[in-house]
Structure 1
Amino acid sequence: MTEALDEYKKDFFNRETMCFTRKIKFIHNMGYSLTEKLLSHDNFQKLLKSQAKFDVVIVEYFLAEAILGVGKVFDAPVVLFSSLPSYSSSNNIFANPAPSSYVPHILTQYTGYMDLGERFVNLAYNTFDAFYKYYYMFPLHDKLLKTYISKDLDLEDVMHNASLILLNSHPSISEPVPHVPNMIEIGGFHVKPPNELRLDLQMFMDEAVEGVVIFSMGSNLKSSDFSEQKLQAVLKSFGKIKQRVLWKFEEDSLPGLPSNVKLMKWLPQQDLLAHPNTKLFISHGGMLSTIETVHYGVPVIGIPIYGDQKMNVAKAERNGYAISVPFQNLSEEKLSGALHEILNNPKYADNAKTRSKILKDQLVSPMDTAVFWIEYAMRHKGSHHLQSAGIHLSWYKRNMIDIIIILTVVDILLFLIFYYIIKHIIHQISRIK
């Protein structure tokens, strides 16, 4: 699995500017490839044939429709976990309404507040995604299901078999969008109380009179893969500020490193964000990193690359605690401007702290919420009573496409009838004259 993902990681930076159809194809094909690697793995096959008994099966879901068949094999409720908010594929499984008018496709850089052009583009994303998914990807997943799980199962029969899904989202961070009752938000579940920093890091942070900037592109992206031009832009921008910088950089050294910058191949990110001297987080905008920075009330400079990152950063920017610096526009001028604005304008830190209060103000902790719903599915042998009737409708019926087509045909027929009646009347009048 790791090797398969590494193959996709190599080209993430180059895919940042590709057209929307290629983005959708890429993300679906990646999900299919990872699903095939999992299902064909020897350990997974041994588990399927083990005749083991389970009260519930918890599956991490990422465009992996074929894996939904495991519930039938083990005769147990299936609970899905998604590291993302709800998006087109999880919405499809649970028949969750997601109008293109105010629910942005996860691969766009939009928030729920879209103008006419953006809504048109968002509709194009959703329409192409639906067609590609239903008529190209689902037949492939059906073959995976029959090949690796059971030849007696059909994808259509297992597609909506999941009892519920746990979503890594929360309205303080993600769009406040509709969710059917078996879609449960647990954003922030992974955030833990901070640990003590090792001595050298503790001293680096404590002695930073002007504060510290944390720079990390996450676990799947490497800033060491930046072009030389972009690396120089980052170095020069960091050299201009009075704050210290902790930079997750995957190589041992970097020529021209300013004296205020410390390189590390790995950072205890949550523990550093929790330190009171952390003034700014420069991030790729992944959902886990976004939740962590909101939890600790730290403003962000987002350099989004792929997937949900652009949408996450756009939402953070709209909420007033972030500035977006698109990767293709990353330059000394752009980054320096963003650094100067956030480090010298207290509104970003204030807005981050406001969002932090909203995230933490929950009746039950995210982890306790997750535990409750998993046990709920176990107690009730699934939670199919929470399923929407929409799961029994094909996508075009859910979206009223069949009704729209009928009304369109009727309108055209009425127009033609009216046209020929008027034409006939005009012809008769002209004959009388």
Structure 2
Amino acid sequence: MVLQSMCSGAFRLAIVVWSIGCLSTIAAHRILACEPSPGHSHWNVMSAVLESLVAAGHEVVCVTMHPATDRLAAHPNYTHVDMSSMAIGSLQTARDMDYAHVMKVFRSNAFMVGLATARAMYVCEYLLDMPEIRDMLDGRGPAFDAVIMESLHSECMSALPDRLGVPAIYVIPSPPVNWMPVATGAPDHPSYLGAMLADRPTPVTFGHRLANALVYVHTTLVRWYSDAGRDHRWPEHRHTMVFVNTHHSVEPGRPMGPNVLEIGGIHLNRPLEPIPRDLADVMDSSNEFGVIVFTFGSLVAMNTLPDDVLDKFKIVFSQLPQTVIWKYENDTMPDKPENVVLCKWLPQRAILHHPNVKLFISHGGMSGVYEVVEAGVPVLGMPLFYDQPRNIQNLVDLGMALSMKINNLTHTALSEAINRIIKDKSFSENAKRVSSLYRDRPMTPSESVVYWVEYLIRHGTEADIRPSSADASWTSHFMLDMCAAMVTALLTIWFVARAVLHVALDKSIPSDVK
């Protein structure tokens, strides 16, 4: 008995020693992150990236105005450097904003590009005035192994990776932005790749290609020839990598090099939040017609929609047999239909996974798109601005959605769209098919992020993963130099041949004929 106890104790001690030895082989790295964008959806993606890294044992120091998520706040490896004092005016953390204000701020693509450029200058000035950033730029700050930045508003931070001599990683919380290929060398052409701010992800007709080319040229010129774009550009060292919030099951395929990683839906690595008991009872007890979920996410407060638009929704919803769960920021709603349940907050992802959900009415934010794709639920999209028209069009092209414009909504069109999606089983079948494609992957986005960050840190400047196309000028990229050379050669041959022929003919004609 004593011998057995001694053996058991020795075995446990060996296990402990072996475990400590294994832990000691894990190389914990120190990573600097910067998320200056006020958009909650932007932080939703960046925070998921950082959660993956701290969970893998790495230390993360993040400069942002956003409060830490629960998972980050609970982790000792996460340090928050607050920049919320910068949050004034349109740079405040964007949540539950007034509809009219949102549509004014984002009234056109041209205005949005100009606004983003102006914001970038302001954010850069703020960041460069922070003592922590100045110390790092001057070489007096703490050591880091990598720098992770959001692509929007962090242009001036691009100097940090070069100054620190570490890899630079950019996180794009949307489809690929027009200036991404310049840094990554990914092939990019407006004839077949839709610009992010264009309504169609894949231009098909001549009109689509023309509109796409105009958007592409405008955003590129503004970005690269404005003060912000000219002074603060993405670094061109060869160990730059980009994490983009897309997945080929949703976004049309595009050529990308090994330095571009798709992490679409990385925020889905979080566990499902529980559905509140009263709301779960409503969903469980819904009739055989099921439930419709209606929300515009965290950006727009639904109670600020114009009265005529709210009335149209209420009239149509009152005629439906389904229960409608409506994210609405007031406790009460005038003339609320009996089948409508109001909620100031929704655990959206958990609700979409409920088996009784038949339809998701959404503005098409990127986070919501991947949540509904994961759940396999059809969509009625009402995009408002930015990448939302493109996001919804992706789902329309996949056969799992219809799209409507909220500013010219009619009772008839809204009712017909809802009933068509619910009654036509192809929408539900396509949604489940796309969900299956999305889920079938060799590594989760979180695992991919951890692997590639560690890969870049392990190999440093030896990680030459940027294609040579990244070093090509725009004239060589579009083969303008070759076209000019060939045209010049052909014209030279033509003029020489014409001159020779003219001389030959002139000599062959007798002088008396002349």
Match of 2:302 in 1: 223
Q: 5+ unaligned residues in a row in structure 1: which ranges?
A: 146-154
**From 132, 140, 144, the counterpart of 2:228:** 140
Q: Deviations over 1:338-394 (max 9, x none)?
A: 111112111111110000000000011111111111111111115641111222233
CA displacement at 1:84 relative to structure 2: 1.6
Match of 1:25 in 2: 114
CA displacement at 1:198 relative to structure 2: 1.8
Match of 2:393 in 1: 314
Letter in 1 for 2:376: G
In 1: Cα distance, 2:474 partner to 2:153 partner = 17
Q: Deviations over 1:56-83 (max 9, x none)?
A: 1121222633221121233221112121
Match of 1:54 in 2: 144
In 2: Cα distance, 1:331 partner to 1:417 partner = 68
Do 2:175 and 2:387's aligned partners in 1 also have CA atoms closer than 8 Å? no
**From 274, 277, 292, the counterpart of 1:196:** 274
Do 1:216 and 1:284's aligned partners in 2 also have CA atoms closer than 8 Å? yes
Say yes or no: does 1:13 pair with 2:103.
yes
Say yes or no: does 1:185 pair with 2:262.
yes
Match of 1:379 in 2: 458
Counterpart mapping for 1:17-416 below 5 A: 18=108, 21-41=110-130, 44-45=133-134, 51-62=141-152, 64-136=154-226, 139-141=227-229, 143=231, 155=233, 158-160=235-237, 163-191=240-268, 192-209=270-287, 210-382=289-461, 384-407=463-486
**DSSP-derived class of the 1:323 partner:** strand
- Of 229-238 and 249-258, the range deviating more from structure 2: 249-258
CA displacement at 1:32 relative to structure 2: 4.6
Counterparts in 2 of 1:422 and 1:63: CA distance versus 1, 3 Å: farther
In 1: Cα distance, 2:267 partner to 2:190 partner = 30
CA displacement at 1:190 relative to structure 2: 1.1
Q: 5+ unaligned residues in a row in structure 2: which ranges?
A: 1-37, 39-86
Do 2:203 and 2:212's aligned partners in 1 also have CA atoms closer than 8 Å? no
Which is higher, the Rg of structure 1 or of structure 2? 2
Greater relative contact order structure (CA < 8 Å, 6+ sep): 1
State the identity %.
27
In 2: Cα distance, 1:227 partner to 1:278 partner = 27
TM-score (norm 2): 0.73
**DSSP-derived class of the 1:79 partner:** strand
What value does the CA root-mean-square deviation take over the aligned residues?
A: 3.1
Counterparts in 2 of 1:244 and 1:358: CA distance versus 1, 3 Å: same
CA displacement at 1:263 relative to structure 2: 1.8
CA displacement at 1:255 relative to structure 2: 1.1
TM-score (norm 1): 0.86
Letter in 2 for 1:133: R
In 1: Cα distance, 2:438 partner to 2:162 partner = 37
**DSSP-derived class of the 2:441 partner:** coil
In 1: Cα distance, 2:112 partner to 2:485 partner = 33
In 2: Cα distance, 1:266 partner to 1:167 partner = 28
**DSSP-derived class of the 2:266 partner:** coil
Q: Deviations over 1:7-37 (max 9, x none)?
A: 986643246663x544543444445545555
Count of matched residue pairs:
418
Q: Deviations over 1:199-236 (max 9, x none)?
A: 11111211112221111112222322321111111111
Letter in 1 for 2:401: A
CA displacement at 1:251 relative to structure 2: 2.9
